[in-house]
Amino acid sequence: MRKILFITFLFASLFMNAQDKPIAEMNFTEATVNSLKFSVDSAEELKDINWDDIKEIFSENKPEDLILLEFEVNYPKNKKEAKKSYKFTSKGKSKDINNTISMAKKILKKLAKI
């Protein structure tokens, strides 16, 4: 009987200690997005970009954070026309997201004409 009570007490004390909070906790209160990359197979796919979503992605950043918008067009190698792939980056601060987006739009328009 003593052994049964001792084992029961031992297991009860172990289970009570197992219910304690963990020693280490991680709390994420803020996140920063520094870059966004678009990689497509044709320049026509870049016309479907929703620029308001891009503003929303960077909305949580601090105003002085540097952001990068990268655009990459990789034409398939099996096409008869050998178009070259290209890549460009538009960068600026989070507070100037409208200027960064307008610069990217201008470059995309010029590249679509080529």
Alpha helices in the chain (DSSP H): 2-18, 51-57, 97-113
Mapped onto helix, strand or coil, the DSSP state of residue 68 is strand
By the 8 A CB rule, do 87 and 70 touch?
A: yes
pLDDT of 29: 72
pLDDT in tens, 28-47: 677 788 999 999 888 788 88
pLDDT in tens, 7-33: 887 777 766 655 556 666 667 677 788
pLDDT in tens, 57-112: 888 888 999 999 999 988 777 655 556 778 889 999 999 999 999 999 998 888 77
Q: Whole-prediction pTM value?
A: 0.64
Q: Where are the domains of the chain?
A: 35-113
